Amino acid sequence: MRNMSARRLLAAAAALALASGSLAACSSDSTSGSGDSGDVTPASQINFLSGWQVGDGTGNFLAAAVEAFAKVQPDITVNVETVKFDDLKVTVETESVANEMPDLITMNFTGENKPWLDDGLIADTTSYLTDWGITDKLLPGVTDAWAYNGKLGGFPYQTGSWPMWYNMDLLKAAGVSEVPTTIDALKDAATKLKANGVAALCYPGKDWGGAGFFWLIDQLYTGAADIQGIMQNGGFAASDAAQQGIDLLGDLRDSGVLIDNAAGYGYEDCANAYDQSKVAMAFFGSWSFTQISEPILKVTQLGGFPLPDGAAFDKPIAFATGGNGILMSQAAADDPAKVAAIKAFMDFLYSKDALQLWISDPGNQIAAVTSEASGPSTSTNVMLQQNATLWDVAEPATLQDLYVKSGVDITPEITWFIGTQGATAADLAPRLDALWQD
Amino acid sequence: MTTPASAPTRRPRHPARGGNGALAAFTVPSLVWYLLFMMGPLVAMFVIATLNWGSIAAHPKFAGLANFAKLLADERIGTALINTGIHLFATLPFQVLGAFMIGYFLAQRPPGHRIFRVVLFIPALISTAQLGTMFSVVLGPDGLVNGLLNLVGLGDHMRAWLADTHTALLCVILVSIWNGMGFNAVLFSARLASIDQSIYEAAELDGASHWRRLWFVAFPISLDFVSVMTMLQFLWSLFGSAALILILTEGGPGQATSTLSWLVYRFAFGVNGSPLIGYSQAIGILLFLLGVVGLVIIRRFIKQRY
């Protein structure tokens, strides 16, 4: 991993060196639309709160973009304040209370920040996306992840997936030649893998990864409409289909398909176990494309979660995720000069070359934008290429981020369920339903 | 009748009293600071508990006593009360009485006592974040404990210690004890070292064993200090468990390690968005009242009796 990181660092440095030139070149046409803001003189400063860390693909891209933007728009300075991604929420709320709300913020749009639209912290970007010509460029369905109460919470910039990862070397060594697409095949593969001394499926029962996995498995029988209702209002105890999904997970736990002591594993633990070939199957997001070492990526096949008999889907299922985007503060939206400056910057970020640079690092996943240059099939990264054809073999499931009631966290109950042999849907369903009481 | 030659007509004003007034004036800034920054947050806690407040960036709405009504009906509060009680009653004897025994041992200055002091003090030098991270690894599925069990042929007993309903709270308790007992022992040894050695010698001449000298000589003499330590340890355990729980278990599995202190944090900062700051402070008031009652009880039953 260390050698690989060093290689990536060198690659990133090379990309950065190229970036200034390419972005500066592309910007001559990309900023030409900034005059659409009428006679308003753009503000001289844009304050950008970023969770994209310098040193990885996202942060390096932003640094290069800001530097290149400064060359073509010397009158507008983008001040980037970088904080840990996990600290973004608290930082935004604290700065808003101190009347120092940043103009732009890099974030996912989740239950954590959706209330900011109601509280007037961030702006509805619907009209900006349309008026600035961004909507036409976006991939179909990308804005779904940014919708809340009839508004859009930001500028989508990144999209991704959360599929099953299969280590084909380990599967073949155990005598399994194909990715399992049914639960029976999954169980059979697990038996063979265990006989070969390898754990079958890493379930991150300790943290959010396990909660996400639960939502995927639980909708196998319900289908989209029912699970959306349950995500919003609870109601596991009243849904036979939801309970079937829970019992399926319990069956996988008790029949040894899951790694031993799965309740103690977090997402990162599973990533490490997969990277060390201790486990043959896992459920990772596309944000882990840069996390796993190259030799393991080369033998990895992406796919969906296998279907049981009577499933509500036709193909194995996985999540299509929204990814990061850029939120705009309401304070900035209320200031025409700021809006003009932000428009210039957005024109720049959504230019073809900027997007091409964005996806050149697989850690940035896929741009949320359709353009000749930004198609994932043009990438040389093996995972991005696979990801581009993921939906040929898998069907998108309902992502919980879009529907689960704000404030509900099922993780502790999932940890309990995964760690309690013999626990059934009858045990878990009322415990889960209680979480929607708040 | 005679009239006293020098009957006092008025008690003379104490010359220093005027000076005290002037001196008292100098304490005003401190008092103002104390009222603003110490009493202010306390009052704010009671005010916020009456609000329906989604996040510090949201507009709070007055909710009256709704948060308290919700608190009484919330099963999670009952579970957290029980867990808080278990955590307190399991840790306090070790943190106070166990530490006192070790402190007595150290005060006897046995060979190598300086090294013992350093070793015992080391856990106090580890931050809570480090402590939690360290024990997350030690108690994890591939951690040291399971590794040792596997090594000695007890692989069947390997488990996810922090994610198992039967062991998670026990693990939190043991980590708390590991973290605090040595530090308290060093404090106790400092107090016990100040006891005149001739008292121990007299007791020894009377045939008192170490055990009897510990509990019938040293303990009664140090009872004032024991009382203070018990109060401090009680407050640390009652209010401070959230940090360790956040890192080790996040209150799970289920509600197995959820304490009142954890719930104050959990509702204040929310999960998946949506904090309930007013409700969090209502739980904080319950915690505050428990703290006051606990302190009164400790003061009532542990005090110097001579």
Cβ–Cβ contact A260 with B under 8 A = yes
Nearest to A412 among B55, B59, B253 (CB): B253
pLDDT given at position A144: 84
Residue B4 has pLDDT above 60, yes or no: no
Task: Choose from A416, A418, A436 for mutation: most chain B CBs within 10 A.
Answer: A416
Nearest CA in chain A to B250: A412
B160 neighbourhood in chain A, CB within 8 Å: 205-206, 261-265, 419
B 81-110 near A (Cβ less than 8 A): none
Q: Which two tokens stand for residue A166?
A: 């299969």
Q: Which CATH architecture has domain B93-258?
A: Orthogonal Bundle (1.10)
Start-end of H helices in A109-162: 115-119, 126-131
Residue B75 has pLDDT above 70, yes or no: yes
Q: Which helix (H) or strand (E) holds A283?
A: strand A279-283
Beta-bridge partners for A148: A151
Residue B59 has pLDDT above 50, yes or no: yes
pLDDT given at position A30: 37
- How far apart, in whole angstroms, are the C-alpha atoms of residue B198 and residue B141? 54
Task: Tell me whether strands A147-148 and A151-152 are parallel, antiparallel or unpaired.
Answer: antiparallel
pLDDT given at position A15: 43
Nearest CA in chain B to A112: B273
B268 neighbourhood in chain A, CB within 8 Å: none
pLDDT given at position A364: 64
Start-end of H helices in A265-335: 267-275, 294-298, 330-333
Q: What are phi and psi of A167, to 5 degrees?
A: -85, 100
* A2-160+322-381 and A164-284+407-437 in the same fold: yes
Instruction: Tell me whether residues B254 and A121 touch, CB distance under 8 A.
Output: no
Nearest to A412 among B56, B255, B269 (CB): B255
The domain spans of chain A are 2-160+322-381, 164-284+407-437
Amino acid letter for position B234: F
Residue A384 has pLDDT above 60, yes or no: yes
pLDDT tier for residue A295 given thresholds of 50, 70 and 90: very high
- How far apart, in whole angstroms, are the C-alpha atoms of residue B131 and residue A291? 26
Instruction: Tell me whether residues B254 and A415 touch, CB distance under 8 A.
Output: yes
pLDDT tier for residue A351 given thresholds of 50, 70 and 90: confident
Determine if residue B111 is left, alpha or beta; phi over 0 gives left, psi from -120 to 50 gives alpha, anything else beta: beta
Top-confidence range, A273-282, B48-57, B246-255, B268-277 = A273-282
Instruction: Tell me whether residues A406 and B57 touch, CB distance under 8 A.
Output: no
Amino acid letter for position A108: N
Residue B123 has pLDDT above 50, yes or no: yes
CATH no. of A164-284+407-437: 3.40.190.10
pLDDT tier for residue A287 given thresholds of 50, 70 and 90: confident
A 80-119 near B (Cβ less than 8 A): 90, 92-94, 96-97, 110-116, 118-119
CA end-to-end distance (rounded Å), chain B:
51
Residue A360 has pLDDT above 60, yes or no: yes
Task: Choose from B67, B79, B255, B274 for mutation: most chain A CBs within 10 A.
Answer: B274
CA dihedral (B41, B46, B50, B55) in degrees, to 10, reads 30
B272 neighbourhood in chain A, CB within 8 Å: 110-112, 404, 406-409
Q: Which are the contacts of A85, defined by CB distance < 8 A and separation ≥ 6?
A: A51, A52, A53
E runs forming strands in B197-283? none
Cβ–Cβ contact B141 with A under 8 A = yes
Is the dihedral angle over the CA atoms A171, A177, A181, A187 positive or is it negative?
negative
pLDDT given at position A139: 78
pLDDT given at position A10: 37
Please tell me the distance in Å from B166's CA to the nearest CA on chain A.
Answer: 10
The domain spans of chain B are 93-258
Instruction: Tell me whether residues B250 and A408 touch, CB distance under 8 A.
Output: no
**Geometric angle at alpha carbon B156, from B151 and B160, rounded to 5°:** 90
Q: What is the ipTM of this complex?
A: 0.80
CATH no. of A2-160+322-381: 3.40.190.10
Q: Which helix (H) or strand (E) holds B111?
A: none
A110 neighbourhood in chain B, CB within 8 Å: 272-273
pLDDT per position as a tens digit, A55-91: 777 888 899 999 999 998 999 999 999 998 878 988 9
Instruction: Tell me whether residues B273 and A115 touch, CB distance under 8 A.
Output: yes
pLDDT tier for residue A355 given thresholds of 50, 70 and 90: confident
Cβ–Cβ contact A271 with B under 8 A = no
pLDDT given at position B56: 78
Please tell me the distance in Å from B221's CA to the nearest CA on chain A.
Answer: 47
pLDDT given at position B273: 61
Residue A28 has pLDDT above 90, yes or no: no
Residue A248 has pLDDT above 60, yes or no: yes
pLDDT given at position A386: 81
Nearest to A93 among B56, B163, B255 (CB): B56
Please tell me the distance in Å from A265's CA to the nearest CA on chain B.
Answer: 7
Nearest CA in chain B to A416: B253
Nearest to A112 among B165, B254, B272 (CB): B272
pLDDT tier for residue A366 given thresholds of 50, 70 and 90: low
- Between A365 and B157, the higher pLDDT residue: B157
- How far apart, in whole angstroms, are the C-alpha atoms of residue A22 and residue A332? 29
pLDDT given at position A86: 79
Q: What are phi and psi of A80, to 5 degrees?
A: -100, 125
Helix, coil or strand: residue A164: strand
Task: Choose from B272, B274, B279, B280 for mutation: most chain A CBs within 10 A.
Answer: B272
Tell me what the mean pLDDT of segment A8-35 comes to. 40
Q: Which are the contacts of B204, defined by CB distance < 8 A and separation ≥ 6?
A: B213
pLDDT per position as a tens digit, A141-178: 788 889 888 999 999 988 888 999 999 999 999 999 99
- How far apart, in whole angstroms, are the C-alpha atoms of residue B27 and residue B21? 10
Please tell me the distance in Å from B33's CA to the nearest CA on chain A.
Answer: 22
Tell me what the mean pLDDT of segment A360-366 comes to. 65
Question: Would you say B195 and B189 are in contact if contact means Cβ atoms under 8 Å apart?
Answer: no
Tell me what the mean pLDDT of segment A255-279 comes to. 95
CB atoms under 10 Å from CB of A223, counted, come to 15
Instruction: Tell me whether residues A262 and B160 touch, CB distance under 8 A.
Output: yes
Instruction: Tell me whether residues B164 and A263 touch, CB distance under 8 A.
Output: yes
Residue A102 has pLDDT above 90, yes or no: yes
